Chain A
């Protein structure tokens, strides 16, 4: 059984009669996992920006983490399937491009889930001012703490990793190579 059947089925059996409330829409929308970081929901990740309900019509706004996020289509489909299963006749999933996604939008729960899965959560993002973006050479920012042993004796081994939102590090203390969600 797939995750969407589980989640949607769970919602259907626990609420009767099916009132199409904002809370109901929120529960369904917030259960959608991120296709690339499946330990997180879109709500944990801060990609789920807004939910509005009008009768049996629900409008959900999603913000892509990166311009080239290849998972937006899948997110829309999963979102539509779950909200339809929750009883909404018309589901509209909108792309919200502004303000852009920031790693600061990852919730405290999301950060804890990332760390539990061995992915170092992002530190807070230092938003540049309105002028030219300063050049950063050879990552002078403080080291990322190892998600396995907690040591801060780590170094970045690559500026990019398996998904657009992460880079690669290695812990010098326990030897663990690990991914880290980049600050943007």
Chain B
């Protein structure tokens, strides 16, 4: 064994002069992957769809990162950090896939740090703030249940890159969903106060649920080409899983109309809530202040 401890391993200088996980060089997560656009598929549509799924993961990841050092226990800090890391990894692959698909060769950083709010395609569920830990858990349960159902179907996508990202993502999201579901049950089945907070979390997230099953024009074209699953078809699995968890927790998901958009447009159309500007301000501030900076 070359090192006695993991700390010794990561703190030792290597020949390359790089130390892992400390800074620059996180480029091209798709190195060596064949990123040709499949025949019969529009490159612009494939890129737009990759951005939708990538932005969902990127923005949700950022909101999760805000919880670091704020969770009720160290174990939950660690859990939320790991969930955020998985989603960030999915985002990196998907944003990079977008740059290869539309021929622009934009990198993941170009998409993450140089786009304006109206160019982000995430569902609004990913961007909103959480009133408390129970609110976050309600949002994480909804997000991971929906994304797991979607990526399960995406595994048979006609785009081999999206199919591969989905196959890996399914394994990760299975853990995220189980984690959130266990907390919903613990809090719902806990004290009167925890139950009240958990129910309030569900009330807050409910108006953002209908948007998850809307079908955009891009998705409609890619569904016809066998690249994208129909988000509407994930509804039955979503309802079954959420119903099962909430029954165990003795809680209800209120049936409410979806949060209105603007002229029929919601997150997939680049129309976001007020919360989105704050996410991007934090996410992009360093990159905008010092373009191209490395460390």
Contacts and interface: CB of A to CB of B under 8 A. Distances in A.
Contact of A94 (B32, B81, B88, B244): B32
Contact of A66 (B26, B75, B89, B240): B89
Given A94-B33, A184-B171, A100 B164 contact: yes
Interface stretch (A13-21, A22-30, A75-83, A142-150): A75-83
A164 B85 contact: yes
B51 interface: no
A176 B190 CA distance: 29
Contact of B32 (A2, A81, A93, A113): A93
A53 interface: no
A154 to B, nearest CB: 16
Nearest to B178: A136
A113 B2 CA distance: 12
Contacts of A98: 160, 163-164, 167
A135 B85 contact: no
29 contacts: A3-B3, A3-B12, A35-B9, A38-B6, A39-B3, A66-B89, A68-B85, A68-B90, A68-B92, A70-B20, A70-B21, A74-B20, A76-B31, A77-B14, A93-B31, A94-B31, A94-B32, A95-B32, A95-B33, A97-B165, A98-B163, A132-B152, A133-B148, A133-B152, A136-B174, A160-B78, A162-B78, A164-B85, A184-B171
A81 B15 contact: yes
Interface of B: 1-3, 6, 9-10, 12-16, 18, 20-21, 25-27, 29-33, 75, 78-79, 81-83, 85-90, 92-93, 148-149, 152, 160-161, 163-165, 167-172, 174-175, 177-179, 181-182, 185, 237, 240-241, 244-245, 248
Given A38-B2, A158-B78, A164-B82, A182 B175 contact: yes
A67 B185 contact: no
Given A33-B9, A98-B163, A158-B78, A132 B31 contact: no
Contacts of B86: 66-68, 164
B164 A71 contact: no
A66 to B, nearest CB: 6
B29 A95 contact: yes
Nearest to A168: B75
Nearest to B94: A67
Contacts of A71: 20-21
Interface string A55-89: 00000010010111111111011100100000000
Contact of B33 (A39, A97, A157): A97
A38 B30 CA distance: 24
Interface of A is mostly: loop
A38 B1 contact: yes
B78 A135 contact: no
A69 B88 CA distance: 10
A71 B18 CA distance: 12
Given A158-B75, A164-B85, A2 B164 contact: no
Interface string A117-137: 100000000001001110111
A62 B274 CA distance: 41
Contacts of B167: 97-100
Contact of B178 (A69, A73, A159): A159
A43 to B, nearest CB: 14
A98 B33 CA distance: 10
A6 B14 CA distance: 11
Contacts of B15: 2, 4-5, 81
B169 A33 contact: no
Contacts of B75: 157-158, 160, 168
A77 B31 contact: no
